[in-house]
Structure 1
Amino acid sequence: MGCSNMLTGFLNLATFILSIPIIAVGVWLSKTHDTVCVRFLQYPVIALGVFILLVSLAGMIGAWCDKKFLLLLYLFVMFLLIVLLFCFTIFAFVVTNSGAGNAVSGKGYKDYRLGDYSTWLQKRVNDPTYWAKIKSCIADSKVCNDLGTKYTTVAAFNKANLTPLESGCCKPPTDCNFTFVNATYWSGAPAPGATDTDCGKWTNDQSILCTDCDSCRGGVLQNVKSNWRKVAIANIIVLVFLIIVYSCGCCAYRNSKRDSGYKGYA
């Protein structure tokens, strides 16, 4: 057995072992959580784990048992995975290239506007079905629950370093100029001449607040931008690893063909 076959087999053994906890997490989510938010996650997690398990198994058997068909199938799937991962990484950088929080004078937090982000991302969060799932996730994570007791004075609230979700979904936009009661309860009417449509969407209902506002969608997209940038950087590392594994697999397949040729000649 060639060195490339051994290395390919061991690398796939490592990914095979990694797939087991991934599947376990997906099963755990399906058994212990029944919210829309978690159901939205559990099936992709299980599918990803099963996919990694099967591909790794094909790579191990193909490399260690000298099965050319499995090696060829493994290399084909790996090639597609590398191409798709590369395309997704480029796409992630492109769609998250625009958008940022808007600094507010005298405030520690920023305001977020939906229109600042890419058109593709805007269309996603404007889809009613998709947004309903996101709102469920916001409710499940209890983003706004502690703000009312954490910031009870306007001075403390103005200095608060709120997250994008807290700023966009838990309070009205600053331009509305409502009167502060606490971080999640505001009184009064919108300032004269206020053009932000979110001023009319804000409600003191603690189960809703500004989750129907465009500012909340903007806060979600700012989170998406930050997370996708991190994922894209991680993808670059994964791509380098996959290319190394793919190169080893190619060498293993070439060795397998060469050994078959020698046997046929003998």
Structure 2
Amino acid sequence: MALGVINKYYTCIGGIIFLFTFLTTGVGTIFIGKSNCFLILETPLVAIALTVMVLSLAITICNCINSREPRYLLWGACIWCLLIPLVITYSIMSIYQAAITIKGKGIELPDRAYDEYHLNAYSKNLRKLVTNSHNWGKFHKCLIRINACKRLTHDKANDTFMEFATKELSPIESGCCKPSYFCNFTYVTPTNWSVTNWSVTFNESHENSDCQLWSNDPETLCYKCESCKAGTLQVFKVKWTNIYKISL
């Protein structure tokens, strides 16, 4: 009788672990799947989460099939030995990720409807996650492959400066698809800007490396800029903040 009660508790715990993991990373993967580039940044957490989900489901099934047979008890014990350290690791990683995504937001501009994004506004550990050469190399290629600036290069290509200035842009569009507001380039189209002698002098005096990295080439734009990385951080932060709100 006591064994049956214990197994019911184990079944319940396994079900709770599965549900919790699904609500955090499972739902998160579905949301992020719409912008699949971000899955590049979540590979370790997603891999652990999927393993935890499979093991927790397996232990629930083992207890439900026949909880008193020795072989099922043995399988259950082995699964728990694997599951417990994975759950602890997953919990630590989730808490760590929630902590590093608290800090950071866009910079409001006086005459624009969109914000600017700077790397220094975000936590050091979050910057390391996104901007290390391995992750950013893959992410950079992914942004180009999915044509992250399509809305500005096609849909809004004929906008006047006033129309452009009053449009809200996503953090990716603001950081990767146009030059920094502080470069003072002259607007031609949302993704085509004229560099004047005055703006070059101004940029050099302010040491804004993004201004030198900007290109009107649709394959380049500001994809290599610090502002592009900052815009990526903002989207990543918002996505996972919303996921944790839903799960909690």
Tell me which structure has the larger Cα radius of gyration.
1
CA shift for structure 1 position 60: 1.5
Q: What is the one-letter code of the residue matched to 2:58? A: L
- Residue in structure 2 matched with residue 261 of structure 1 by the alignment: none
CA shift for structure 1 position 112: 0.4
- Residue in structure 2 matched with residue 53 of structure 1 by the alignment: 54
Q: Structure 1 42/109 Cα, relative in aligned 2: closer, same or farther at 3 Å? A: closer
In structure 2, distance between residues paired with 1:123 and 1:50? 25
1:182 aligns with 2:183: no
- Residue in structure 2 matched with residue 162 of structure 1 by the alignment: 169
Q: What is the one-letter code of the residue matched to 1:226? A: V
Residues 59 and 74 in structure 1, CA contact (< 8 A), matched pair in contact too: no
Q: What is the one-letter code of the residue matched to 1:184? A: T
RMSD: 3.5
- Residue in structure 2 matched with residue 90 of structure 1 by the alignment: 95
TM-score by length of 1: 0.69
1:218 aligns with 2:230: yes
In structure 1, distance between residues paired with 2:96 and 2:66? 38
Equivalent residue for 2:245, pick from 201, 208, 233: 233
In structure 1, distance between residues paired with 2:42 and 2:241? 23
- Residue in structure 2 matched with residue 202 of structure 1 by the alignment: 214
The 10-residue stretch of structure 1 (182-191 or 44-53) with the greater mean CA deviation from structure 2: 44-53
Q: Structure 1 43/127 Cα, relative in aligned 2: closer, same or farther at 3 Å? A: closer
Unaligned runs of 5+ in 2: none
CA shift for structure 1 position 10: 8.4
Q: Structure 1 53/92 Cα, relative in aligned 2: closer, same or farther at 3 Å? A: closer
Q: Tell me the SS of whatever aligns to 1:106.
A: coil
Q: What is the one-letter code of the residue matched to 1:193? A: F
Q: Tell me the SS of whatever aligns to 1:193.
A: helix
In structure 1, distance between residues paired with 2:79 and 2:174? 47
In structure 1, distance between residues paired with 2:142 and 2:128? 19
CA shift for structure 1 position 127: 2.3
CA shift for structure 1 position 13: 8.2
CA shift for structure 1 position 43: 7.9
1:130 aligns with 2:131: no
CA shift for structure 1 position 37: 5.4
In structure 2, distance between residues paired with 1:54 and 1:46? 12
Q: Tell me the SS of whatever aligns to 1:180.
A: strand
In structure 2, distance between residues paired with 1:103 and 1:41? 27
Q: Structure 1 106/140 Cα, relative in aligned 2: closer, same or farther at 3 Å? A: same
Q: 1:65-87, CA deviations, whole angstroms, 9 ceiling, x for partnerless residues?
A: 22332333343444334423332
Q: Tell me the SS of whatever aligns to 1:181.
A: strand
- Residue in structure 2 matched with residue 193 of structure 1 by the alignment: 202
CA shift for structure 1 position 227: 1.7
Q: Tell me the SS of whatever aligns to 1:161.
A: coil
Identity %: 27
Q: 1:32-62, CA deviations, whole angstroms, 9 ceiling, x for partnerless residues?
A: xxxx959959987688546533442233214
In structure 1, distance between residues paired with 2:166 and 2:172? 17
CA shift for structure 1 position 156: 0.8
Unaligned runs of 5+ in 1: 30-35, 238-266
Equivalent residue for 1:72, pick from 70, 77, 86: 77
- Residue in structure 1 matched with residue 153 of structure 2 by the alignment: 148
Q: What is the one-letter code of the residue matched to 2:61? A: M
Residues 92 and 232 in structure 1, CA contact (< 8 A), matched pair in contact too: no
TM-score by length of 2: 0.74
In structure 2, distance between residues paired with 1:121 and 1:69? 41
Equivalenced residues, count: 222
Residues 113 and 215 in structure 1, CA contact (< 8 A), matched pair in contact too: yes
Q: Structure 1 133/146 Cα, relative in aligned 2: closer, same or farther at 3 Å? A: same
